[in-house]
Amino acid sequence: MDKQWVLRGEIPDEISKELESQPELIRRVLFYRGVRTKEEAEKFLNPDYQKGQHDPFGILNMDKAVERILRAVNGGEHIIIFGDYDADGVCASVIFHDFFKKIGFDNFHVHIPDRHLDGYGLTMGAIEEFIERKAGLIITLDCGIADYEEVEKANSAGIDVVIVDHHLPQEKTPRAHAIVDPKQKDDSYPFEYLSGTGVAFKTIQALIKKGNFNIVPGWEKWLLDLVALATIADMVPLTDENRVLTRYGLMVLRKTQRPGLLAFFRRMDINPKNLAEDDVAFMIAPRVNIASRMDHANASFAILTTQSPEEANMVSGHLEKLNTDRKKIVEDIMNEIGERIGETGAPEVIVEGDMDWAPGVLGIAANRLLDKYERPVFLWGKANAKEIKGSCRSGGSVNLVDLMNSLPEGFLIESGGHAFAGGFSAEEGKIGELPKEILSAYEKMPKEETKNGILNIDMEMGIDDVNWRAWELIEKMQPFGMDNPKPVFKFSGLKIDNVRKFGNGGIHLGLDFKNSSGKKIPAIGFFVGDSEKFDLKAGQKIDLAATLEKSFFAGRTELRLKIVDIKRKK
């Protein structure tokens, strides 16, 4: 479906005057991102590490959580760090690992579940293991908010549980010793969209504030590389406190001394000095996430905690191979679903599955299907898992958690996640009914109007405007991500000077244009080379929607356009 290009409206005169100290490009983008005053503009363009953060004790129950953790540390209790298996949960686990090591506390054990065998969150089997380990305290990270029965079992065994999470609370709230989750109903924390690692970092800040530890003030800033990695990987809004943590976290990433990250940089030919959020989103995060999808997340934990360059090189190589294998599997799933949909046409909600599909890669495939068909997607598989597991994605038309909760009682074994992304498990005997039940529930739910079919254009540009001065202005608005997308510019009537396709089978597209001085202005589009829409020839004229980006490919610094969409000129 062709997107409708909508040029954003003019800035009201009073706002333009308020922001008159800024160049027009920045004024426009700031206004479209909700910035209205000089003070807001200063805060947005120049995030301050101290002023831009909120008091960690403003999160509901933080004081109770900190008191219990400190009591366990001071009393020498055995602490279990129970982190989720994705990049967010792993990074949160590494943050607690690094903190405990820093304060000289060693009586802890990090447990990351197996995505395929254990599933999401606490399990009864894990609680039994912790009872045998004589644990006094369990700290859940990036999970736990939905684990009512498991927390009850821990309580009955005399083990306290502190939940550090950021997911939406369920109907039954676990009776944990303390729940630290900004999304709780009675929580008045000013910003509820922290990643799980972000909440873990705020907890560490609070522990340091109350713990009177013999560590250098400000040491915790070295943990921001993990916060930035997780915040970008988990696709939470890059606004408010997340913008501050990610901006400074990228600075730390550029200086990181973690052997595992340095091994990643070498393997992917990334110069840390030039690291940007896209490198994290498309290069580093997928390789951290891949361990749990294709193997076990312990490999991701190892790559982020090892102090051995030899181990780092070995584990990074293992993760690289898994990532390569994953690409092939996802491509096979996409092709199979494409053939099925091609026969009948895409329904209002895409619900597809196969017993041979590996559950760990379904979230990636669901994202790609959402982008392609612009409708909610539910995928399921089993492969080597104990039970059928699935992933779901929504562009905003419905809240996935509400949709899954509206299914007949007992239909899903478990479900959870965010409004736009979630996971579930189901019984084999009921899986054949899944498409019918989901479509029925979807039809009864109130729908939100989505903007999937609309491409908002921030500003019109000419090809001569693609210069380093423009890039310097755009750079001030980084990091880009959820709720702070890259500015999209419209270029009208561009004549294509050259067309090239590259990558595996020509899946990527490169276009060249020339400005009025005859200088080449390159444009690149990923994963569009095999699309009929992008079957272009030199000499053709097109309207181009694109973002600007600074490329360091092959050791060359280059300013180029990144293709978002095109319209052929008739």
Q: What is the pLDDT of residue 397?
A: 81
pLDDT digits (tens, 9 = 90+) for 244-288: 999 999 999 999 999 999 999 999 999 999 999 999 999 999 999
Determine the longest span between alpha carbons in the chain, in angstroms. Answer: 76
Predicted confidence band of residue 474 (pLDDT cuts 50, 70, 90) = very high
Query: Could you give the CA distance from residue 382 to residue 419 in angstroms, rounded to a whole number?
Result: 24
Q: What is the pLDDT of residue 565?
A: 92
pLDDT digits (tens, 9 = 90+) for 539-570: 999 999 999 999 987 778 999 999 999 998 76
Nearest CA-CA partner of 407 in 390, 426, 420: 426
Please report the domains of the chain, with CATH numbers, ordered by start residue.
4-46+453-568 (2.40.50.460), 56-255 (3.90.1640.30), 346-444 (3.10.310.30)
For the cut 70, the answer to whether the pLDDT of residue 449 exceeds it is: no
- Cβ proximity of 293 and 366 under 8 Å: no
Predicted confidence band of residue 450 (pLDDT cuts 50, 70, 90) = low
Any residues with CB less than 8 A from the CB of 359 and at least 6 apart, and which? 115, 116, 380, 381, 382, 383, 385, 388, 389, 390, 391
Edge-first strand listing for the sheet containing 498-502: 459-461, 489-495, 541-551, 558-568, 520-525, 508-514, 498-502
Predicted confidence band of residue 308 (pLDDT cuts 50, 70, 90) = very high
For the cut 90, the answer to whether the pLDDT of residue 25 exceeds it is: yes
C-alpha torsion angle, residues 169, 171, 177, 180 (rounded to 10)? 10
Predicted confidence band of residue 221 (pLDDT cuts 50, 70, 90) = very high
pLDDT over 90, % of the chain: 79
- Cβ proximity of 497 and 514 under 8 Å: yes
Nearest CA-CA partner of 501 in 489, 493, 509: 509
For the cut 80, the answer to whether the pLDDT of residue 418 exceeds it is: no
Q: What is the β-pairing status of strands 489-495 and 541-551?
A: antiparallel
Tokens of 444: 């009864």
Q: At what angle do helices 259-267 and 298-305 cross, to 10 degrees?
A: 100
Residues 211-234, mean pLDDT to the nearest whole number: 95
Query: Could you give the CA distance from residue 243 to residue 238 in angstroms, rounded to a whole number?
Result: 5
Tokens of 492: 């009208």
Residues 229-242, mean pLDDT to the nearest whole number: 94
Q: Indicate yes or no: pTM above 0.85.
A: yes
Residues 164-184, mean pLDDT to the nearest whole number: 95
Q: What angle (nearest 5°) sits at the alpha carbon of residue 243, between those of residues 270 and 189?
A: 140
Predicted confidence band of residue 452 (pLDDT cuts 50, 70, 90) = low
Mean pLDDT of the chain: 93
Task: Give buried/exposed letters for 528-566 (b at 16+ CB in 10 A, else e).
Answer: bbeeeebeeeeeeebebbbbbbeebeeeeeeebbbbbbb
Segment among 50-54, 242-246, 366-370, 417-421 with least mean pLDDT: 417-421
Predicted confidence band of residue 343 (pLDDT cuts 50, 70, 90) = low
Query: Could you give the CA distance from residue 393 to residue 378 in angstroms, rounded to a whole number?
Result: 7
